[in-house]
Amino acid sequence: MSGELLRVVMVAASTCAFAGMAVSAERLDIGKREYEANCVVCHGVKGKGDGPFNEFLKVRTPDLSVLTKNNGGLFPVNRVLEVIDGRTQVKGHGTREMPIWGDVYDAQAVPQFDDYGYNAKLFVWARTLALVDYLSRLQVR
């Protein structure tokens, strides 16, 4: 987990403790689940860009495990966030090759996903941040 994300989680945890709420262990790796459900077909299990869907793509799927390495040792949190939610369009040949997940999650943010609570904005944020955290854990040194 990047330092920044870790700090956010710690602040959230201490806020809960302050409010007198029990902080129980989370066993579900939401980021891993989201990655395996939505990204692995193209980006591959370890993010190397070798997923089975690649034979149908015109653009080579980038290696997501070297984002930190290629950014001077710092995981590019903002860029990754914006690529996932669609604010940053990644350059492809012609049309956008990668779906905009912010829109997909927005569309899915309905009450039946009750493990995220009923707040649609939080539902989208939780999944997006969990993905960013998961990608930060895929980075090679």
Binding stretches for ligand HEC (CB under 6 A) = 38-39, 41-43, 53, 57, 59, 61-62, 64, 79-80, 83-84, 90-92, 97-99, 101, 131
Q: Do 56 and 63 meet the contact criterion of CB atoms below 8 Å apart?
A: no
7-14 LR contacts (CB < 8 Å, sep 24+): 8/129
Count how many residues are written for the chain: 141
Q: Do 43 and 61 meet the contact criterion of CB atoms below 8 Å apart?
A: yes
Shortest distance (Å) from residue 116 CB to ligand HEC: 16
Q: How far apart are CA 105 and CA 70, in angstroms?
A: 28
Shortest distance (Å) from residue 21 CB to ligand HEC: 30
Lookup result for tokens 């969990």: 130
Shortest distance (Å) from residue 68 CB to ligand HEC: 11
Q: Which is nearer to ligand HEC, 92 or 117 (CB)?
A: 92
Q: Which is nearer to ligand HEC, 83 or 109 (CB)?
A: 83
Q: Which is nearer to ligand HEC, 38 or 139 (CB)?
A: 38
